[in-house]
Chains A and B, each alone.
Chain A
């Protein structure tokens, strides 16, 4: 049991982070508002989780302006993609 747990990634223990990674994995990029709508979370909550994922290098942030309004886009990094896939595999192993 202990052995199986070691591949589970602490960074993805939270539902919001799991949701962010799921959305980013199947899209080239997703902007802040789409993520908010998709996950039904508040601005502050989402922002803090995005920050945490950015800090460990799993996602990248690109800020740009769309019709003079700030539009922040998020994309998954290679490290993040590998880490998330490993995490899903670990969950699947646990359920076997």
Chain B
């Protein structure tokens, strides 16, 4: 007789547990935007590194210090743009869903995302300064993946599998070390776009 009431109760319990412990305003569109930024960034980086070489015969990456500065600038610009779009779309979604954006869940998510991410970032900068540029693509992928796995407990669980895929890609990139940029484009570009679309379809507007 009261079955419907109890079913509603269970649904409420689940809904509140989710809303109170997970950050659910993350927009799929921010994933798509980040992916596009990454692809554009990777393309520009590719043109910088392999500038002025024809497509026949062996090519060598030009990693002179001038080029490194350009690459660093490209990287900073790409990350800022991707983060900017992420913040924009997420704020937009939070507003539409009438959710508070800066609350406990957001802080917890960011903190847990940033611990592995900053560790990886600092490590990569150290390696870069010592000239081990080949490690950058694999290690950024690996640490980004670990950061996602770590943060996935506080937001959509799909982030976990994305993180694991990034880690696998990173390990592959470490093995095929000359193809770093390619793996990087797949990990940060393609995967973000695919996951962004999945999230948008599942939880979107």
A interface list, Cβ under 8 A from B:
15, 18-19, 22-23, 25-27, 30, 34, 37-39, 88, 91-92, 94-95
Contact = CB atoms under 8 A, between A and B. Distances in A.
Nearest to B19: A38
B20 A30 contact: yes
Interface residues of B, number: 17
B17 A22 contact: yes
Interface of B: 2-3, 6-7, 9-10, 12-14, 16-17, 19-21, 100, 103-104
Given A34-B103, A34-B104, A91 B20 contact: no
Instruction: Classify the interface of chain A: helix, strand, loop or mixed.
Output: helix
A74 B19 CA distance: 17
A38 B13 CA distance: 12
Contacts of A19: 12-13, 16
A39 B20 CA distance: 10
Nearest to A31: B104
Nearest to B103: A34
A95 B13 contact: no
A30 B10 CA distance: 21
Contact of B17 (A25, A39, A91, A95): A25
A37 B104 CA distance: 12
Contact of A22 (B6, B16, B103, B104): B16
For B14, B19, B20, B21, which residue has the most chain A Cβ atoms within 10 angstroms? B20
